[in-house]
Amino acid sequence: MTGETPPSVPGPRAGDGDLQGRPEPLIRMRNGGLRYGDRTLWKELDLDVRPGEFWAVLGPNGSGKSSLVQALLGLRPLSFGTLRVLGADPRRAARHIGYVPQQGTAPAHEVIRARELVGYGLDGHRFGLRRFGLRFGLRGRGAATRHRVDAALEAVGASAYANAPLGTLSGGERQRVRIGQALATDPRVLLCDEPTLSLDLHHQRAVTELIDRRRRDHGTAVVFVTHEINPVLDLVDRVLYLAPQGHRIGPPEEVLTSESLSALYGSQVDVLRVRGRFVVVGAHDQQPVHHPELDTEHTHNTDGAYS
């Protein structure tokens, strides 16, 4: 990929919809599957992600959550099935996709200032600086571009440290800047790959509120990969749960049930709801261990379903 502007993808129009009057999906996958060598991560996956929806993607490590994000970004082709983003190949839709990476996967070069990182978003350099080489500063850019960078920083509450090197910012501050970068091009789809990982509860809430405000104010579709469903539970419309025995899609209260997760893991799993939070308990052992998948504790399953 280069810094050239990709072709414009008009996608579904605001007035378009299906026979039930719902808007056309911004993301549509049919019979999707992804394979690495002899191992299939997921298959027979059908998705319809519509404007303004907030999707949470859950599943154990190695289930293919981040690989799904890469496919939606157009960085990894499907092994099976079809995928359209805004009615086109995901690579053509990249200009209209915002991406918020994990804390540990995005480069944090100390010499790059916050406003410069946001500027890369306007250049289409949203999917990792190391892919493109570095061009420092906003010199030579027009006033309109600088204004858009300032507006993006202000929108995420990062104006106070706009000129600070990324290496001097806290984890929460860096994630605000990365959200500003993702929103700089006014995306119609926002893909978030564990954006709250390693953040404390205060910064988790601040980051998720920024993302939720964007989708509510602009109708942006959000796909949010997370190991911690409880902090975003009140925001989520639909859950995609990827697991060893398949996947399940639906509202949280339908997917996060004992029956559903037991089928997905191939072993007994008990799901409780305590004070508005989901607590997952395995039935084989009585030794409690922390399992970040649902931001809680459950008992260890000796067949490795929770590893």
Q: How far apart are CA 171 and CA 199, in angstroms?
A: 7
| pLDDT single digits (tens) 57-102 | 999 888 999 999 999 999 999 999 999 999 999 989 988 999 998 8
- For the chain, report the end-to-end CA distance as a whole number of angstroms: 35
CATH of 27-241, one of 3.20.20.70, 3.90.280.10, 3.40.190.10, 3.40.50.300: 3.40.50.300
- H helices of the chain, in order, are 65-73, 114-122, 143-155, 171-183, 201-218, 252-255, 258-265
pLDDT averaged over the chain?
Answer: 80
Q: State the residue for tokens 């004992």.
A: 258
Between 184 and 21, where is the model more confident? 184
Cβ–Cβ contacts within 10 Å for residue 243, how many? 21
pLDDT confidence bin for 204, thresholds 50/70/90: confident
- H helices of 123-170, in order, are 143-155
Domain(s) labelled CATH 3.40.50.300 in the chain stretch across 27-241
pLDDT for 161 beyond 50: yes
The 3-state secondary structure of 5-32 reads CCCCCCCCCCCCECCCCCECCCEEEEEE
For residue 150, what pLDDT is reported? 92
pLDDT for 6 beyond 80: no
